Amino acid sequence: MRMLYEDWKPIYNEILGDFGYEKRSDDYSACLLRHLMANSNIVSEDRIAVQRKVTVFGGSGSLENDLRSVPPEGTLIAAGSAAGRLAECGLAPDIIVTDLDGDMEPQIEASRRGAIAFIHAHGDNAGQIWKYAREFVGPVVLTTQSEPDSAVFNYGGFTDGDRAVCIARHFGAKDILLLGFDFEKPSEKEGSDPQTKVKKLRWAEKIIFEYNEPGVSIMMPR
């Protein structure tokens, strides 16, 4: 689904209100990302190839069990720290979708090996942008959840997982398999508030399923 910013904006404004976030903070981080990555290996949209079938890997505790029960297919997209757990299972993602949080070294290593990294800017990750963004030496696409421009894109999405699904839909995926997704139980992360994480998971589920495009199949292991 090629979501235009005009379509995403009402959803975005609702998210801002729900969490008490400020658009200007998102805009600042996007500006920072744009300037820091001006000389990086920016990849144009016409070089991004996504197959009809896509597997998106999330970071829930079920990821390894899901991998044992359902074989991944098509283009492999890792959401954030799922990249490291995939590496431990002998899998290399084609695409990484990251807001530069969690276990960073496997994500950076996947970039070194040629995975396309969709690097995301939002209001509270300016520090991570300063620290990690320039470590991604492979092909990159810069993203924001706020207003896009010619250098920083907005494909929709709020968390790494649902943003990965939005990206897959944007580039033509029709059958999307979700492995390592749990919308009920947030994974534990140092420094994060469990209640905020629960709210984020509710939004992720809504963005993936309620805003899905007709003709796109979203599947999860039973």
Q: Which amino acid is at 77?
A: I
Q: Which pLDDT score is estimated for 222?
A: 81
| DSSP reduced 3-state for 30 | helix
Please state, in angstroms and rounded to a whole number, the distance separating the CA atoms of residues 148 and 63.
Answer: 32
Where do the domains of the chain lie?
5-219
Strands, E assignment, 65-167: 75-79, 95-98, 116-121, 140-144, 152-153
Please state, in angstroms and rounded to a whole number, the distance separating the CA atoms of residues 32 and 41.
Answer: 17
Q: Note the pTM of the prediction, 2 decimals.
A: 0.96
Please state, in angstroms and rounded to a whole number, the distance separating the CA atoms of residues 119 and 160.
Answer: 10
pLDDT (tens place) for every residue of the chain, 222 residues total: 567 899 999 999 999 999 999 999 999 999 999 999 999 999 999 999 999 999 999 999 999 999 999 999 999 999 999 999 999 999 999 999 999 999 999 999 999 999 999 999 999 999 999 999 999 999 999 999 999 999 999 999 999 999 999 999 999 999 999 999 999 987 766 656 778 999 999 999 999 999 998 999 999 998
Share the mean pLDDT of the chain. 95
Pick the CATH number of 5-219 from 3.40.50, 1.20.950, 3.30.70, 3.30.450: 3.40.50
Please state, in angstroms and rounded to a whole number, the distance separating the CA atoms of residues 77 and 82.
Answer: 9
Q: Which pLDDT score is estimated for 190?
A: 62
Q: Which helix (H) or strand (E) holds 219?
A: strand 217-219
Please state, in angstroms and rounded to a whole number, the distance separating the CA atoms of residues 193 and 74.
Answer: 34
Q: Which helix (H) or strand (E) holds 53?
A: strand 53-57
Q: What is the SS3 assignment for 140-184?
A: EEEEECCCCCCCEECCCCCCHHHHHHHHHHHCCCCEEEEECCCCC
CB 160 within 8 A of CB 117: no
Give the full edge-to-edge strand order of the sheet including 75-79: 152-153, 140-144, 116-121, 95-98, 75-79, 53-57, 175-179, 217-219
CB 45 within 8 A of CB 137: no
Give pLDDT tens digits for 21-55.
999 999 999 999 999 999 999 999 999 999 999 99
Query: What tokens appear for 17 in the block?
Result: 């209100």
φ, ψ of residue 175 to 5 degrees: the values are -125, 110
